[in-house]
Amino acid sequence: MSTTTYTPRRGTLARTESRQALGFVSPALAGLALFTIVPVVLSIVMGFFNWPTFGDKEFVGFDNYVRLFTQSPDFWPALRNTFVFALLYVPISVILSLLLALSLSSRIRGRGALRVLFFIPVVTPMVANVLVWKMLLQPQGLFNGLAQSWFGVQLPNFLADPQWAMIMVVVMSVWQGLGYNMLIFSAALEQLPESVVEAARIDGAKGFRMIWSVMLPMISPSIFFASIMTMITSLQVFAQPQLLTGGGPGNATQPLVQFIYNQGFKFQELGLAAAAAWILFAIIIVLTALQFRAQKKWVHYEH
Amino acid sequence: MKKIHVGAVAAAAAAALVMTGCSTGGGDASSDTVVIDMWAGSQSDTDALNAQLEIARKQNPDLKIELRTAPWGDFFTKLTTNMASGNMACVTGMNSGMLSSYTDGFLELSDADLKTAGIDLADFSAGADEILSNKGTMYGVPFDIATMLVYYNADLLDAAGVAHPEAGWSFDDFEATAKAATKDGKYGFAVGMGDFQWQALPIAKAGQQPVEQDGTLALTDPAFVDAASWYSGLVTDEKVAAPVASASDTGWGENQYAGQNAAMAVDGTWNAVSYLNNDAGFTAGMTTLPSGENGSLGLILGSGFGIAKSCKNPDAALKVLGSMLSPEAQDYIASSGRSYPARTASQPLYFESIDEQFRPQVEEVFTKAFEQVQGQYVSDNWSKVGTYIQPQLVSVYNGQETMENVLESAQQQFGK
């Protein structure tokens, strides 16, 4: 059997096989095209049109983008709210969950149960979480009730005060998302190579030095992953403000995604909504790219 | 290889386009079939519609009539798509609060059209012709009518030693009742967040709507601003109502009332039966909106049917519409207690369907409440105005913003 005689045959076989393979993947490709590619392309197109849900569509070029930046009274506040939320939420969430993972990494009794406890908010439906938080925070709620009966202090109406409302959205979101990052960090901490830890211990490292100089650098890929994912989800925040504060009072807690939702589905301005969505997309891409560039300085992949 | 991939993706994309194109089609019926499109949220809703459909079939044996339904929320999304694709059902259900966004799809009804349908508006409740009208043009005929009422918790009022309000009471009576009932951690009144719920009292007090009949926004009209400021003052000055906890509490007043935290709240006649039979077990009562120097103006709301502009056989559709609103069909919805019928002759049957112990009160209050009503005027961007004002109301009720400022900025933003 000489290879030369088989070469052309193998070529036809490969071709037939790839054709058959294509037959097998075509349902997936059709699905991808129908549910991903077409809507994405359509949304780009929509961004350049005055596109009411019903009625005549009209090409307006970059008008939607200009309108967003110069005329829409809610766009800049929405952008500001999104950034305020992300700036507060990402560091607090990452640091707290890291602390939690570190304190649960030593062999303390019942840490499995504690981990489950902290993870519960991640798996419970957001609507239920928000309902509980509302019952805690409203003036007739638990916090105000306790403050009044114990200290005789009247707490502010948290969800109706422009300053407090955003803080409470962040607090609730941190509580809700804490368990997920904690789980990532816990997994990374469990995987620390024994040899490195032992070598550091022999060299006399312990306590803060051990965590700062040995453990953190070694789990830095996980920290990087968690902070990127947390940042992306925080820029896309919608459910918490929508359900907890309704974007109010006024537009004090209305993030960009809620703005997009209102434009598209309440005001039927699909073109404007699509344009705003692409601005959000651009922001997320740029920030993620910057993070990827910065990671070279602080993320260590080699053990 | 590359070529094949590109080809495959192109083929898949083409297939996708064909598929999306197909999905808007279908449902096309031959021209001698009249399709009725109506919302129905449950089996009992559908059964009731089918009973009315039977009446329509009996009255029009020569026509084929079909029924399409969708739940309330989906109905309007579907209607938007159907309108965009020219596939709207000849006889389509419509609600007074939703009409302004859909006028483009409906046929303007003339007197001749009503005659074809066999409908004489004189048989209907006063103001019924305004329910499905927009800027003076009529697009549909209602099968039921509704307006806003003040509901009270008789147990809370008794506990506070306050007399129950009676139909025809004044704004002074209202304030006195609210003040007296505010004690022991309960509030006398609960403010509304929904458009109808919060605007009902200001409109009644001002004697005018925040929109003019031609659709011009008039939020800053001094009479309305005064009345609305008085309304928010119930929370901030009189302290007879609790400040709203969050802008996401869109049903604040109704929930506070149902949860027995407040003795009174404003809600529509459509909830009368559910409040009377409330699960919490308190004794509910109802009365008309209070009246002041400017009378007690109420809005007449309701749902009905219109004819699609794209309908190929409007005469047949009008006949079906007439049958769906015929005395027999109206008697049916009235006696089943589903809603308060628009035909005056059928209205007594509605009261008969109500539990005997509540019947006299419901009959008295309903009759009186519909005496001074006006169709709702809306501007073209009315839903935007509502969406803008609602989260601002929270700031107003919490004293961080004044009602005047909010109405002013809404007028500036949407009144162009």
Helices within B128-258 (DSSP H only): 128-131, 154-159, 171-181, 195-206, 222-236, 252-258
Q: If 0-12 CB within 10 Å is exposed, 13-18 middle and 19+ buried, where does residue A19 land?
A: exposed
The arithmetic mean of pLDDT across residues A185-189, rounded, is 92
Contact predicate A255/A89, CB 8 Å: no
**A162:B394 CB<8 A:** no
Q: Give the closest-approach CA distance of A74 to chain B in angstroms.
A: 10
**SS3 state at B70:** strand
Q: What are the chain B neighbours of A159 within 8 Å (beta carbons)?
A: 245-248
- B397 pLDDT higher than 90: yes
The Cα angle at residue B342 between residues B336 and B345, in degrees rounded to 5: 75
Q: CA B144 to CA B334: how far, in whole Å?
A: 9
pLDDT over 50 (residue B4): no
CB contact under 8 A, A34 and B20: yes
pLDDT at B5 over 60: no
pLDDT mean across residues, chain A? 89
Q: Does B387 contact A242 at a Cβ distance shorter than 8 Å?
A: no
Cβ separation A18–B4 shorter than 8 A: yes
Q: Enter the ipTM.
A: 0.76
Are A139 and B242 in contact (CB < 8 Å)? yes
Give me the pLDDT at residue B3, please: 44
How many C-beta atoms surround the C-beta of residue B13 within 10 A? 18
Q: How far apart are CA B74 and CA B113, in angstroms?
A: 29
Cβ atoms of residues B293 and B224 within 8 Å: no
* Domain boundary assignment for chain A: 2-46, 71-297
Burial (CB count within 10 angstroms: exposed 0-12, middle 13-18, buried 19+), residue B266: buried
Residue B22 makes CB contacts below 8 A (sequence gap 6+) with none
Phi then psi for residue A46, to 5 deg, are -55, -35
Question: Which residue of A157, A168, A270 is the best one to mutate when testing the B interface, meaning the one whose CB has the most B CBs within 10 A?
Answer: A157
Buried residues in B16-36 as b, exposed as e (16+ CB within 10 A): beeeeeeeeeeeeeeeeebbb
| pLDDT greater at residue B43 or residue B324 | B324
> What is the mean pLDDT of the segment spanning A273-281?
95
Q: Give B379's contacts (C-beta < 8 A, 6+ positions apart).
A: B100, B211, B215, B216, B217, B385, B414, B415
Mean predicted confidence (pLDDT) in A11-27 = 89
- Tens of pLDDT, residue by residue over A62-108, are 999 999 999 888 899 999 999 999 999 999 999 999 999 998 887 77
How far, CA to CA in Å, does B169 sit from each of A56, A256, B178, B275, B298?
A: 50, 47, 13, 21, 14
Residue A213 to residue A192: CA distance in whole angstroms: 13
Which of A137, A250, A266 is nearest residue B392 as measured by Cβ atoms?
Answer: A250
Question: What single letter denotes the amino acid at residue A157?
Answer: N
What is each CA distance from B98 to A283, B72, B254, B272, in whole angstroms? 36, 11, 21, 22
Could you give the percent of chain B with pLDDT greater than 90?
Answer: 65
Q: Is a pLDDT exceeding 80 seen at residue B345?
A: yes
Euclidean distance between CA atoms B199 and B205, whole angstroms: 10
Instruction: Tell me which residue in B105, B248, B261 faces A242 most closely, judged by beta carbons.
Output: B248
| Per-residue buried b or exposed e for A91-117, using 16+ beta carbons within 10 Å of the residue's own CB | ebbbebbbebbbebbeeeeeeeeebee
Distance (Å) from the C-alpha of residue A168 to the closest C-alpha of chain B?
12
A23 touches chain B (CB under 8 A): no
For chain A, give the percent of residues with pLDDT over 90. Answer: 62
Residue B147, CB-side half-sphere exposure with 13 Å CA sphere: 32
User: Is B395 in contact with A249 (Cβ distance < 8 A)?
Assistant: yes
Neighbours of B273 (CB within 10 A): 18
Give the tens place of pLDDT for each residue, B130-147: 899 988 899 999 999 999
Pick the CATH number of A71-297 from 3.40.50.720, 1.10.3720.10, 1.25.10.10, 3.40.50.300: 1.10.3720.10
Contact A248, B392 (CB under 8 A): yes
The pLDDT of B105-115, averaged and rounded, is: 93
Test the A interface: residue of B18, B248, B309, B383 with most A CBs within 10 Å: B248
Q: Given this model, what pLDDT does residue A191 score?
A: 87
> pLDDT category, A223, cuts 50, 70, 90?
very high
Which residue shows structure tokens 């939702």? A261
Neighbours of B104 (CB within 10 A): 9
Q: For the purposes of burial, counting CB atoms within 10 Å of the CB of A168, is it exposed (0-12), middle (13-18) or buried (19 or more)?
A: buried
* Most confident stretch, B15-19, B230-234, B388-392: B230-234
Is B397 within 8 Å of A160 when comparing Cβ atoms? yes
DSSP per-residue string spanning A72-98: -TTHHHHHHHHHHHHHHHHHHHHHHHH
Comparing CA positions, the residue from A90, A284, A106, A86 lying closest to residue A181 is A90
- Using left for φ > 0, alpha for ψ between -120 and 50, and beta otherwise, residue A242 falls in alpha
- Option in B19, B80, B391 nearest A248 (CB): B391
Paired strand residues for B70: B39
Q: Are strands B91-95 and B298-307 parallel, antiparallel or unpaired?
A: antiparallel
The answer to whether A91 and A174 are in contact (CB under 8 A) is no
Q: Beta A58-59 vs B64-70: how paired, if at all?
A: unpaired
Determine, for residues B387 and A55 on separate chains, whether the beta-carbon distance falls below 8 Å. Answer: no
pLDDT at B231 exceeding the cut of 90: yes
Q: Are strands B91-95 and B33-39 parallel, antiparallel or unpaired?
A: parallel
Residue B36's φ and ψ, nearest 5 degrees, are -105, 130
CA-based radius of gyration for chain A: 26
What is the pLDDT at residue A164?
Answer: 92
Chain A partners within 8 Å of B244 (Cβ): 160
Q: Can you give the length of chain A in residues?
A: 303
Please tell me the predicted confidence (pLDDT) of residue A7.
53
Q: Which residue of B has its CA nearest to A53?
A: B80
Cα B348 from Cα B345, distance rounded (Å): 7
Tokens of A94: 């990452």
Q: What is the mean pLDDT of chain B?
A: 88
Answer whether B117's CB lies under 8 Å from B319's CB: yes
Q: Kindly indicate the confidence band of residue B30, based on its pLDDT and cuts at 50, 70 and 90.
A: low
pLDDT of residue B2: 42
Contact A160 B19 (CB under 8 A): no
pLDDT at B31: 59
DSSP string, B300-316: EEEEEEEEBTT-S-HHH
C-alpha A42/C-alpha A36 separation (Å) is 10
DSSP state, A151? Answer: I
d(C-alpha B48, C-alpha B40), whole Å: 9
Note the pLDDT tens digit of each residue in B353-381: 998 999 999 999 999 999 889 989 988 88
Selecting from B19, B248, B261 the residue whose C-beta is nearest the C-beta of A246 gives B248
Question: Are the beta carbons of B143 and B329 closer than 8 angstroms?
Answer: yes
Q: Which residues contact B367 (CB under 8 A, 6 or more apart)?
A: none
b/e per residue A253-267 (b: at least 16 CB within 10 A): bbbbbbbbbbbbeeb
Q: How far is A76 from chain B (nearest CA, A)?
A: 16
* Interatomic CA distance for residues B327 and B118, integer angstroms: 11
Q: Which residues lie across from B146 on neighbouring strands?
A: B301
Question: How far off is chain B from A283, nearest CA to CA, in Å?
Answer: 26
- Helices A220-235 + A75-103 axis angle, to 10: 150
Compute chain B's Rg from CA coordinates. Answer: 24
Residue B83 has pLDDT above 90, yes or no: no
User: Are A32 and B4 in contact (CB < 8 Å)?
Assistant: no
Which of the four pLDDT bands, split at 50, 70 and 90, describes residue B413? Answer: confident
Chain B residue whose CA is closest to A158 = B245
Return the DSSP state at B124: B
Angstrom distance (rounded) from CA B182 to CA B187: 4
> Which pLDDT value is given to residue A57?
84
